[in-house]
Structure 1
Amino acid sequence: MRISTSQFYNTSSTNNQRSFGNLVKTQQEATDLVRVRTAADDPVGASRLLQLDQQKNMLDQYKTNTTNVRNALGTAESTLNGISNILQRVNELAVSSGNAGFTDDDRKANAAELKSLEEQLFSLMNSRDENGKYLFSGSKGDTPPYARNADGTYSYQGDQSQLKLQVGDMLSLATNETGYDAFEQALNTSRSQTRLTSPAVDDGRVSLSDGQVSGSATYNDRFRGGEPYNIEFLSSTQYRILDAGGNDVTLEASQGGKFDPKSDNPSISFRGVDLRLGISLKPGDQANPDAAIAGHTFSLSSKADSIAGTRSPGNSSSAQVTGATISNQGQYNASFPGGGAVLKFTSATDFELYAAPMSDNSRPISSGTLSGSTATASGVSFQLSGTPSAGDAFGIKVDTHQTQNVLDTIGQLRAALSSPVDSDPTAKRNFQAALDSAIGNVRSASDQVASSISSIGGRGAALDVQSETNEALTTENAKTQSSIRDSDPASVMMRLQMQTNMYQASLQSYAKIASLSLVNYI
C-alpha cells in the first residue's frame, strides 16, 4: 500500500495535535488536580456533581437563614426579658399597695412609678429590629403593634402571622413572636361579676367582690354552664348557692356554704372563682347578727361581652356607632362572629353584617333596616349618631373578657391607686377588688411572656440541632464532590510522564520520517 506525502502529513499532524491536547489537559489536571471539568470528562460524575452543587447551594442558604433566625430570635428574647423584668416590678408595686399601712399618698406614689413603667412597657412592646421592622406585629412589620386609644386603653394592630424561614430540608422555624401570642392571650382573671339583688338599697352590711378566676378549666367547664347563680345569705355564718335552674350547688363552694365573719379575710371559692366577702355589722346588730345578715342576696355571673364600633376612615358620612347592646342573647350566641364583624350600609337605611375581615367574596351573616337610629343584627343593637351613607362601614370589636393585655391592666391599676379610699369603706372595698384583679392579671401576663420566651428557647434548641446536621451534610457534600471531581496526584503524574514521553517520541518519529526522500537514495 502506498501513502501519499499529503496523507502522511495530515495524519501525523492530527496525531500530534491530539497527543499535545491530551498532554496539555493532563498538565492542567496536574496543576489543580481537577479531573472533571465538563460533562465530556465524566458524564455520570458530572451529573452527580451538579446534584451535589445544588445541595451545597441549598445548605449555604440554610446557613444564611439559620443566622437570620438566630439573630431575630435573640432580639425578640432580649426584648421579652426586659418586659418580664418590668412586669416583675409592676407586681411588686401592686402587692405592696395592698399594705394595710399605706395611705392615699403612698398609693399615689406607686401610681406615679407605674406610669413610668407603663411608658417603658409600651415602648418595648413597640420595639423594632435592625431592619426597622416592628418585632411583635406579625406580618405587619411596618405597623406599630400597639396603639394608645383616646380613652387610655390600648389596641393590638398586628396580626397572628408568624414569618418562617427554612433552615433544613424538613424544618422551617418562625423568626418572630407575635404580640397576639406574647401579650394578647394573657388570661383575664376578672371575668365574673356580682350584683346585690336584695335588699334593694345597699345597707353596707354584706359586700361581695366581683371575684377572681383561680381555675380557668373549672371556670369554663363548671361555672359557665350553671350561671347566673343566686347567692343567698341564710345567717351571719352560712349561705347557699342556687344555679340558673334553681338547683342547690352550695356543696361545691368552700366549706360547704359556711364562713367565719370574724376572719381577717373571709372569702367564697366556687367553681374556679374566688370572691372576697365583707361583713360589717351595724350598731345594735350584735344582739341578733343572723337576722341582720340573713336575706342579703347576690347574683353571680360572667361579665357580659362588651361590643364597640369604630368608623371606617373611608366613610363619606360622619355617622358614628355610639353604643352597642346585646338585645337577643340567643341570636347573639348563635350567629354573631366572635372574632369581630363589619357593619356595612348598602343605603342610608339598609345594612348588612359581615364577619371580619371582610373580602369581596364575603357573604353577609344578617341584614336589616334602620329603626330610627338603631341597627339590630344577629342579636346586637347598634346606636348610631348621624345618617350613614351607602358604602359606609363600621368595624365591630367584641370583648369577651377572656383575655386582657397587660398595658390595660397597668392602666386600670394606676387608676385604682390614684383614687382616694382612706375615708370611704365602699371605695376601699372597690380598691381591694381592683387590686386583686391587677395582681392576678399581671401574674397571668408574666406567665404568657414566660411562655413566649420558652417558645423562643425551644426554637433555638431545634435550630442548634439542625445547624449541626447541616454542618455534617456540608462536610459530607464536600468530601463526595472531591472524590468525584478531584484527581489522584500519583496517577496523574504517572500519566503526565507517559504522555510526555509519547509526545516526544511522536515528534522525533515525525522528524525522521519527514526527512525521508528518494533523493537520498539516487
Structure 2
Amino acid sequence: MRLSTSQVFASNVTGYQKGYTDIVKTQQQISSGVRIQTPADDPVGAARLLQLEQQKAELDQYSTNMTTATNGLTQQNAVLDSVNNVLQRARELTVQAGNGALADEDRGAIASELEQIQGQLMNLVNSKDANGQYLFAGSNSGTQPYTKNPDGTYSYNGDQTTLDLQVASATRLPVNDSGWSLFENIPNASRTYSTLTEQPVAADEQQAFLSQGLVTDDTQYDKQFRGGSPYTLELLSGTQFRITDASGQDVTTEASGGNGTFDPTASDGTTIGFRGVQLKLDVALPEGEGSSVLGGYRFAFGTAPDEFAVTRNPSNTSSAQITGGSVADQATYSSSFPANGVVVRFTDASAYEVYTQPLKSGDAAIASGSLTTNPPILTIAGAQFSVSGTPASGDQFTLQADTRETQGILETLSTLTTALQTPLSNETSSKLALRDAVASAISNLDKGMNNVLATQASIGARLNTIDTLTTENESLSITNASTQSSIRDTDMAAATSKLLLQQTMLEAAQASFLKISQLSLFNKM
C-alpha cells in the first residue's frame, strides 16, 4: 500500500495534535488538582461524583434545618422557663387566697396581682421567634395564638399540629409545640358536679353540703367513675351515708374508709375519696342542734356535661335563634365535634352546612343536614340544638363547646380571679364555694405546670437527638468529602510521571517525523 506525501503529513499532524492535547490535559489536572475535568475523563467516576454532590447538598440542608430547630427549641424552652416562674407565683398567691382569715380587701389585692400575671402569661404565650412567627400557634404560626375576649375569657386561635423539619434521611422533628397541647389541653380537676336534690322537711336552711369534687386519679376516674355516673349520696343519719350508682347499686364500700361514715363535727369537712374523685362533705349545724337532723339529705353528683355557647351573626336577616345544646351521642361527639367549635350556615329555611371554626374564605363544609320538625332540632357530630323561628338563607351561627374535661391555664386564673373578686357573704355555701374554687385552681395550676415541665423534657430529648444527628451528619460530611477527593482529585505523582512520558513521546514523534519527512525515492538512487 502506497502512502502519499500528504497522507504522511496529515497523519503525523494528527498524532502530534493528540499528543499535545494529552499534555495540556495532564498539565490542567496537575495545576487544578482535579482529575475529572469532563465526564468523558471518567464516566463512572463522574456519575459517582454527581451522587456524592447530591448527598452533600442533603447533608448541608439537614445541617441548616438542625440549626433552625435548635434555635427554635432553645427559645421555646427559655419562654417556658418564664411561664413556669409566673405559674409558680400564681400558685403561691392561690394558696395564700385560701386563708380563711383574709378579708374581701385582701382577696381583692390577690386578684389584682393575678390579673397582672394573666397579662404576663398573655405576652409569653404570644411570643414570636426571630422571624416574627408565633412560637405556640402550631402550624398556623402567622396567627396570634391567644386573644382575650370582652367577657374576660380567652380564645386559642392556633391549631393543634406542629411544624416539623427533616433533620436526617429518615427523621423529622417537631420544632415547636402548639399552645393547645401546652396550655389548653390540660385535664380539669373540676370536671364533676354535685347538687342538692332533697332536703329534710324539718330543716329550715341547708345544713349539709357536698362539694363539686376534684379528680385526683385520671385513670380511675375514666375507668370507674364515668360508667356509674350519675351517683346519689344519701345521709342515712348524723354519721352515716350511702352512695348508689346510676343503676341504684350500693357502691358505698368503694368510698374511702369503706364503711360510709363521716364526722359532722370536722371543722374542714369530711373528705370522701371515691373512684378517683375527692369530695368534701361539710356540715353546718346551728348551735345546740344535734346531728340527728341530717338524715334525709340527698345529693346527686357525677361527670359534668359539656355546655355550649351560641353566637348569632349580627348580619342574619331572620330572627331565628339556636338555643340549648346537649350531647345526644357521646362517642360521636367525643370523636367528631371540633375542639374550636363550628359555624352553621343555613342555605334555606331548614337546610344547613357546617364548617370548622374559625371559618375562612374558601373553606369546605365538613357536614350538612336539615332541621327536624316538631320540634326543630339541629344535629351536629352527636350534639343537638333547639331552633326557634325560621332561619333565612345565609343566616350564620357559631357554636362552641364549653367542655369541663379540660381547662386552659389562662381560664383557670381568670375563673379564680373572678371568685376572689366576689365579696363573701355570711352564708356557709359562699365560703365553701370559695374553698372549692381555690382547691380547684391549685390542682389545675399543678397540672398545668406539670404539662409545661413534660414539654420541656420533650424539648430536651429533641435537642439531644439533634446533637447526636449533628455528630453523625459531620461524620458523613467528612466521609463524603474524602470519597469525592479520592475520585475527583489528581494523583500528583502519577500525573507527573504521565506528563513526562507524554512529553517524551511527543518529542520522539517530532524527531521521527523530521526524519521521515526528508525521505524520497531519490535517496535510494
Structure 1 equivalent of residue 297 of structure 2: 296
Alignment-mate amino acid for residue 485 of structure 1: R
RMSD: 2.6
Using a 3 Å threshold, how does the CA distance of structure 1 residues 461 and 320 change in structure 2: closer, same or farther? Answer: farther
Q: Deviations over 1:145-164 (max 9, x none)?
A: 11212211111111112221
Contact 1:281 1:292 (C-alpha < 8 Å) held by counterparts: no
Q: Percent identity?
A: 41
Q: TM-score, normalised by structure 2?
A: 0.90
Quick one: distance in 2 between partners of 1:457 and 1:64? Answer: 19
Question: 1:440 deviation in Å?
Answer: 0.9
- 2:418 maps to 1:445: no
State whether residues 193 and 212 of structure 2, in contact with CA within 8 Å, keep that contact through their aligned partners in structure 1.
Answer: yes
1:106 counterpart residue number: 106
Does residue 404 of structure 1 match 2:407? Answer: yes
Change (3 A) 1:355 1:255: farther
Tell me, yes or no, if structure 1 residue 510 matches structure 2 residue 491.
Answer: no
Residues in 1 aligned to 2:47 and 2:353: alpha-carbon distance in whole angstroms? 60
Superposed CA offset, 1:108-144 (max 9, x none): 2211111111001011111111111111112222211
2:246 — aligned with what? 244
1:368 corresponding residue in structure 2 = 372
Q: Does the 8 A contact of 1:311 with 1:320 survive in 2?
A: no
User: Measured at CA, do residues 319 and 506 of structure 1 come closer, stay the same or move farther in structure 2, by a change above 3 Å?
Assistant: farther
Give the structure 2 partner of residue 216 of structure 1: 218
Change (3 A) 1:504 1:321: farther
Name 2:233's counterpart in structure 1. 231
Q: Is the 8 A contact 1:209 1:276 kept in 2?
A: yes
* Pair 353,429 (structure 1): closer, same or farther in 2 beyond 3 Å: farther
Decide whether the 8 Å contact of 1:341 with 1:354 is kept in 2. Answer: yes
Q: What does 1:449-460 correspond to in 2, within 5 Å?
A: 449-460=452-463
2:428 match = 425
> Alpha-carbon deviation of 1:262?
3.1
List runs of 5+ in structure 2 lacking aligned partners: none
1:491-518, CA deviations, whole angstroms, 9 ceiling, x for partnerless residues?
Answer: 1111111212222333333344445578
For 1:447 and 1:370, the matched residues in 2 are separated by 49
**Contact 1:341–1:353 (CA under 8 A) maintained in structure 2:** no
CA deviation map 1:348-393 (0-9, x unaligned):
x31436474796464435633585xx65436623356x86420323
The answer for the alignment partner of 1:308 in structure 2 is: 309
Counterpart residue type for residue 121 of structure 1: L
Q: Equivalents in 1 of 2:378, 2:350: separation in Å?
A: 11
Show the counterpart of 1:263.
266
Match of 1:273 in 2: 277
Q: State how far apart, in whole Å, the 2-side matches of 1:426 and 1:189 are.
A: 20
SS in 1 for 2:155: strand
Task: Summarize the Cα distance change of 1:361–1:274 in structure 2 as closer, same or farther, 3 Å threshold.
Answer: closer
Match of 1:70 in 2: 70
Counterpart position of 1:338:
337
Stretch moving more, 438-447 or 303-312: 303-312
Q: Output the CA distance in 2 between the equivalents of 1:320 and 1:458.
A: 53
Aligned residue identity for 1:228: P
Higher mean Cα deviation, 96-105 or 440-449? 96-105
CA drift of 1:341 comes to 4.0
Please say if residues 350 and 370 of structure 2, whose CA atoms lie closer than 8 Å, have aligned partners that are also in contact. Answer: no
Task: Identify the residue that residue 413 of structure 1 maps to in structure 2.
Answer: 416
Pair 1:60–1:379, CA change in 2 (3 A): closer
Normalised to the residue count of structure 1, the TM-score between the two structures is 0.91
Aligned pairs for 1:177-192 (under 5 A) are 177-192=177-192
**Structure 1 residues without counterparts, runs of 5 or longer:** none
Quick one: which amino acid aligns to residue 307 of structure 1? Answer: F
Cα distance in 1 for partners of 2:192, 2:369 equals: 30
Match in the other structure for 1:143: 143
Runs of 4+ with deviation above 6 angstroms: 517-522
> Is the CA contact (8 Å cut-off) linking 1:332 and 1:380 kept in structure 2?
no
Q: Secondary structure of the residue that 1:255 maps to in structure 2?
A: coil
Q: In the alignment, residue 68 of structure 2 is paired with which amino acid? A: N
- The whole-number CA distance in structure 2 between the counterparts of 1:90 and 1:301 is 29
**1:317·1:387 contact (CA, 8 Å) conserved in 2?**
no
Distance 1:316 1:293 in 2: 54
Greater shift in the superposed pair: 196-205 or 396-405: 196-205
Matched residue, 1:478: 481
Cα offsets for 1:379-433 (capped at 9, x unmatched) = 623356x864203232322233110111110001111122222744332111101
* Cα distance between partner residues in 2 of 1:14 and 1:216: 90
